[in-house]
Amino acid sequence: MALEILLPTSEQLIKLGVALMLGALIGWERQISHKPAGLRTHILVCVGSTLATIVSADYFLADPARVASGILTGIGFLGAGTIIASQGNVRGLTTAASLWVMAAVGLAIGVGYYVLAAIASILILIILFLVKVEKVDFIEKKK
């Protein structure tokens, strides 16, 4: 096997680096919010999705729809582990959703949609911060 096949290209390394940064951005928010899946988990999901997309597209010539479907379904199971239902309260749903959407961001990075992935990550971060403020306001109004 040729050495150039085994060594990652600069584009592949950039993709992994972008996935690390965007995963860290969302993971940081979940971490400081003391959620069950934080910095490491979000980085791993984003980098893992990016890596699977790169390998599938570059080396196996797999159907992109099947790759995306497999990754997003698998992350759905991971997200299910963060959801806790107890006494009529459901917790962890937003964290599960953030894991799932970071897998989608990783897919976007893997196929080279850097700007789309960055915009999506910024929107996700805004949503995560705004929902907290809205939730507090709603609870205070309810009392």
**Residue 9, domain member (yes or no):** no
Q: Is residue 3 part of a domain?
A: no
Q: Are 51 and 110 in contact (CB under 8 A)?
A: yes
* pLDDT classification of 53: cutoffs 50, 70, 90: very high
pLDDT confidence band for 137 (50 / 70 / 90) = low
| Cβ atoms of 82 and 92 closer than 8 Å | yes
On whether residue 71 sits in a domain, the answer given is yes
Range of the domain at 138: 16-142
Q: CB of 108 within 8 A of CB of 117?
A: yes
Most confident of 20-24, 70-74, 82-86, 134-138: 20-24
**Overall domain count for the chain:** 1
Contact at 8 Å (CB) between 106 and 53? Answer: yes
The confidence score (pLDDT) of residue 39 equals: 94
Per residue in 8-41, pLDDT (tens digit) is 789 999 999 999 999 999 999 999 988 888 899 9
Structure tokens at 122: 């910024």
Residue 4 lies in a domain: no
Within a domain: 95: yes
Tens of pLDDT, residues 84-96: 876 777 788 888 9
Q: How far is CA 135 from CA 36, 43, 126, 139, in A?
A: 19, 26, 14, 6
